Amino acid sequence: MSHRPTVHLRERSKRAVKDEQMRKAVEKAVDRLSGNRLKAEREMPNWDEWREQGKRIRKHTVNHLDYYLGQLAESVRNKGGHIYFAQTATEAQEIIIKICKEKNAKLIAKSKSMVTEEIHLNLALEKENMKVVETDLAEYILQLAGETPSHIIVPAIHKNRYQIAELFSKVAGQKIEPDTPSLTTFARKTLRKTFMAADVGITGCNFAIADTGAISLVTNEGNARMVTSLPKVLISVMGMERVLPTFEDLEVMLSLLPRHATGQKLTSYISVVNAPRSKDEGDGAEEFHLVIVDNGRSKLLADEEYRQALHCIRCGACFNVCPVYRQIGGHAYGSVYSGPIGAVITPFLQDDFDFWGELAYATTLCGACSAACAVKIPLHDLLINIRRTRVELGFTHPLEKMGFKMWRRIFKIPGRYKFAMKFGSFAQRPFMNDGYIQSGPPPLANWTNSRYFPAAADKTFREIWQEKNK
Amino acid sequence: MQNKEQAFLSHVAKVLGRDRPLLKPPKRDEVGPPAFWKEQKFDIDHPLAFFKRNLENLTGRVYIAKDSKDVSQQVNAWLEELQAKRVIMWDHEELKKVVAIQDAKVKVDYWTAKGPKRKMMEAAERADVGITWADYGIGYTGTLALFSSPIQGRSVSLLPTVHIAILKKENLVPTMSTVMNDIIQRRGNNSVPAAVDFITGPSRTSDIEMDLSIGVHGPVKVWVIVLDD
């Protein structure tokens, strides 16, 4: 079950940078989302206090995850729900397939869920001859296109209306006009049938409430409400960190998440599913199954620094401010979770620091992600940590190792340093142009292939200092 | 299954540096929103004004009715404006007291405790308008909170093209805190509803080129009548 890209990150980025349409779309999306977030922050009193409180709550919960997961399991069972724990993606798939088979499910309606993307659930269900339909508009588009999300809030942002119209027209068997109202109307009509006919509904879970055993879903379209209200069986899948102690804590997350994600005061729908429907209720699921997934998260949890990545509430604000994401979009990362948070968690979820650890280089370490984070995760520090871990594990290129060894030998001794600086400003002359090295010799070429290298000044700082003090 | 759960929780405990999973609630210094919020030390003197402005900003409508007759008149006026042919309504005592649909041509279905489940759902799906009695209105965000029950079907606020909610002014609260506290109270006596839905304006999406589009799956319009008698 390998979902690993076949080309290297460098090549993936190069291709992405050439995709003008995608880059324009991403730019528009991230600027809009970031602008909305900043406006929402200004409107909400004492914004920073909210973020601090959010951080405290997430930290407390994650630090006591064993307790809260145990409590959650108990609460769900007490109300007649079913609870499952899956250590791996495969285990999670097996659990869900088993439930669906027992219910003789033929048609499954899904609402947007990153964790089900992570465990590649759709493929697994389709292999069992069950039809799975994504019902979030963006996910529906991606399913028709056979693509993966490129942003966790607006997953199909890389597709334009003409491409979408083409996909929908194929399904409709007639031309669907490439304007937003026609496209959404078509999706509404088509997916309505799915909601009404589905045997099983599958959702993710934004936050589960440990002391009550409820789950909550934060959405705008209403598809998650359909999926939780209409089919007789509901399966919700959650990463094991997606839990909160009480409903009071949920209010904090609901203040942070929509504002940070899209700048909304609240999304159109917050759907809280607390229990299977009561005896006389006419809608809502009769059966509720909650699947809790580890899939590498306990490796993050084991380290006090990396553990902070589990505080994440998936608002996507770090995507929207990241200068790297802005240029290459989500697909170049090659992972299910892209953006800064994706670069941090993917090596753990995939248990591979060699290949996936390289994502930690798809960053400028500018710290914009940490500054934008709803719960103040120091993302850029964690990215540096991953680089360090890679060095410790011996995954760095031999030339890089040699380079740094030499650098250390030179910089350790003032005389050598002085000489190196002088030599550098002399040796660079053949390559210099307008104060930059625009095309350097190897190994500098790796840098200058994609950007100019600032040339060293004629005089070193020490020389200028000495002249001034004469 | 239980063994698997134990193994899972033990593993989580182990990586957190504990010998076995915690069974007693861990100590917490602070729970829920920041203190200033809980004490409502911010500008929210007029929850109704907030509610109206917020919902209207989201293309919603808010009508403030002075008595039950006024509510009924407004509902009928809206149904006429919408040219509604089919309506589904909660079989809710208070709601039925204030809403009488006059146009005999409008087919009215009720969501009842004993009704045929599938049929009611299909009626909701065909309805132009669904009418509910909101448990709460939240001023700060322009939100309705609906608690599910046998007579308070979720489909009524979800499947019709338009959702009209009637809300008593006394149930209009400044922030979500009141609703959360209600749920916590109910938790104590095992009466948390199977579902709680917070609804803030119509269904929307920006999934196509960031272009805002109203009414993708849920109602296209959310209109509210606040009964202030």
Least Cα distance to A153 among B160, B205, B80 occurs for B205
**Number of other CB atoms surrounding residue A85 within 10 Å:** 24
The amino acid that residue A99 corresponds to is I
Report yes or no: B120 at the A interface, CB cutoff 8 Å.
yes
Least Cα distance to A243 among A66, A413, A417 occurs for A66
Alpha carbon distance A358, A386 (integer Å)? 9
A interface mutation test: which of B208, B210, B211 has the most A CBs within 10 A? B208
Report yes or no: A206 at the B interface, CB cutoff 8 Å.
no
Facing residue for A266 by CB, picked from B143, B181, B197: B143
Alpha carbon distance B46, B48 (integer Å)? 5
- Read off the pLDDT band of A2 (50, 70, 90): low
- Predicted local distance difference test score (pLDDT) of residue A1: 43
**Number of other CB atoms surrounding residue B88 within 10 Å:** 27
Mean pLDDT of A3-16: 92
Which ipTM did the prediction report? 0.96
- Read off the pLDDT band of A237 (50, 70, 90): very high
B interface mutation test: which of A150, A182, A269, A294 has the most B CBs within 10 A? A269
A interface mutation test: which of B110, B175, B207 has the most A CBs within 10 A? B207
Report yes or no: A196 at the B interface, CB cutoff 8 Å.
yes
- Predicted local distance difference test score (pLDDT) of residue B1: 54
Query: What residue ranges do the domains of chain A occupy?
Result: 45-298, 400-468
Least Cα distance to B208 among A188, A143, A157 occurs for A157
Mean pLDDT of A8-32: 94
Residues of A in contact with B21 (CB under 8 A): 66-67, 70
**Number of other CB atoms surrounding residue A217 within 10 Å:** 24
Residue with tokens 């397939």: A97
Q: Which helix (H) or strand (E) holds A391?
A: helix A379-392
- Return per-residue pLDDT of chain B as tens, 229 residues: 568 999 999 999 999 999 999 999 999 988 999 999 988 877 767 899 999 999 999 999 999 999 999 999 999 999 999 999 999 999 999 999 999 999 999 999 999 999 999 999 999 999 999 999 999 999 999 999 999 999 999 999 999 999 999 999 999 999 999 999 999 999 998 999 999 999 999 999 999 999 999 999 999 999 999 999 8
Facing residue for B213 by CB, picked from A28, A180, A249: A180
- Predicted local distance difference test score (pLDDT) of residue A286: 97
Mean pLDDT of A429-443: 84
- CB-side exposure of A113: number of CA atoms within 13 Å? 32
B51-71 in b/e burial notation, b at 16+ Cβ within 10 A? bbebbeebbbebbebeebebb
pLDDT at residue A30 is higher than 90: yes
Report pLDDT digits (tens) over B83-117. Answer: 999 999 999 999 999 999 999 999 999 999 999 99
Report pLDDT digits (tens) over A383-396. Answer: 999 999 999 999 98
- Predicted local distance difference test score (pLDDT) of residue A423: 86
Please name the residue of chain A whose CA is at the shortest distance from the CA of residue B23.
A67
Report pLDDT digits (tens) over B20-50. Answer: 999 999 999 889 999 999 888 777 678 999 9
Alpha carbon distance A377, A418 (integer Å)? 40
Cβ-defined contacts of B80-83 (< 8 Å, 24+): B82/B128, B82/B129, B82/B162, B82/B221, B83/B128
Report yes or no: A11 at the B interface, CB cutoff 8 Å.
no
CATH class of A45-298: alpha beta
**Which tokens sit at A266?**
């609240």
Asked if A284 and B148 come within 8 Å (Cβ–Cβ), the reply is yes
- Predicted local distance difference test score (pLDDT) of residue A229: 97
Least Cα distance to A161 among A193, A183, A131 occurs for A183
Asked if B12 and A222 come within 8 Å (Cβ–Cβ), the reply is no
- Read off the pLDDT band of A267 (50, 70, 90): very high
Residues of B in contact with A135 (CB under 8 A): 217
The B residues from 69 to 88 touching A (CB cutoff 8 Å) are none
The amino acid that residue B63 corresponds to is Y
